[in-house]
Amino acid sequence: MSGPRITLTGAGGALGLVLRPRLIARGAVLTSAGHRCPAPIAPGERVLGGDLRDDLVVDQALQGAEVVIHMAGSSVEKPLATIIENNLVALQRVYEGARRHGVKRVVFASSNHTIGMYQAGERLKLSDPVRPDGNYGLSKVWGEAMGRLYHDKFGIETVCLRIGSAIARPTEPRHLATWLGYEDLEELVWRAATVPGLGFLTVWGVSANKRAWWDNGEAAALGYQPRQNAEDYAATLPDMPVWPQQGGSFAPADVT
């Protein structure tokens, strides 16, 4: 019996490269789409290039898909015009493609930079107002709202993952609160893609860090129980100044 038919956008990016083999190992029938996507890594994996702002590219990528895991887009601070094209125009094309092809769900890679202007150490709930720390964070706020729109108007389920610091291991003191380890990333994304009946949901993408800033009670709907803890690496981190805002280096950056 075949697994879920999943399209992964941004498959050649940092997190896409982590997720591809893990999704396949879990049984996904995977289409990997992205500018820098290398050759297939397993029999049956479809690999596609192209620009997601092009409807023909989107139609190819979403053909037969049940779920889109949308990891594509700019992941660092850039001029607003570039962010709009890469993070918003492309996302809208993906949602319209999901309508055309009857895709049931979009898993949207949102970001902790939607709330990056809160003070470090302040405990947050998902109900707290957004406070983006730049153009990138602003695009993720808009992306979450787009997911809400397409769920309410067209019934496309959306799970927004406010991803923290998704890297192999913590490298600075801020990561003691924000780290999302790769094993937890895999579990979170898989559950966001496959747990039935989620409607519209936003959760924090974070591991079980002792010093976490974010209340992730809503993740219970996914059955997500992270196992990694940044505290295991605390003694190895460099002695460096702590960023005053939760968004770290993004917060003081000049958005112009």
Determine what percent of the chain is predicted with pLDDT higher than 70: 100
**136, 182, 224, 233: which one is catalytic?**
136
Mean pLDDT of 180-209: 98
pLDDT(38) > 80: no
What pLDDT sits at residue 1? 52
CATH classification at residue 18: 3.40.50.720
Angle at 241 between CA 238 and CA 244, to 5 degrees: 135
Do the domain assignments include residue 256? no
Flag the least confident range among 1-10, 87-96, 113-122.
1-10
* Domain containing residue 10: 5-250
H-helix or E-strand spanning residue 63 = none
Pairing of the two strands 157-163 and 5-9: unpaired
pLDDT(82) > 80: yes
- Catalytic, 118? Answer no
What pLDDT sits at residue 94? 98
- Distance of alpha carbon 162 from alpha carbon 195, whole angstroms: 18
Enumerate the β-bridge partners of residue 70. 9, 108
Instruction: Count structural domains, the chain.
Output: 1
Do the domain assignments include residue 255? no
Flag the least confident range among 44-48, 73-77, 109-113, 174-178.
73-77
Do the domain assignments include residue 135? yes
Mean pLDDT of 71-76: 90
pLDDT band at 34 (very low <50, low <70, confident <90, very high): confident
For the record, the structure tokens of 92 come out as 């809208």
Do the domain assignments include residue 80? yes
Angle at 112 between CA 111 and CA 113, to 5 degrees: 85
Single pTM value for the model: 0.96
What pLDDT sits at residue 37? 74
Do the domain assignments include residue 168? yes
pLDDT(149) > 60: yes
What pLDDT sits at residue 127? 96
Do the domain assignments include residue 226? yes
Do the domain assignments include residue 232? yes
Do the domain assignments include residue 89? yes
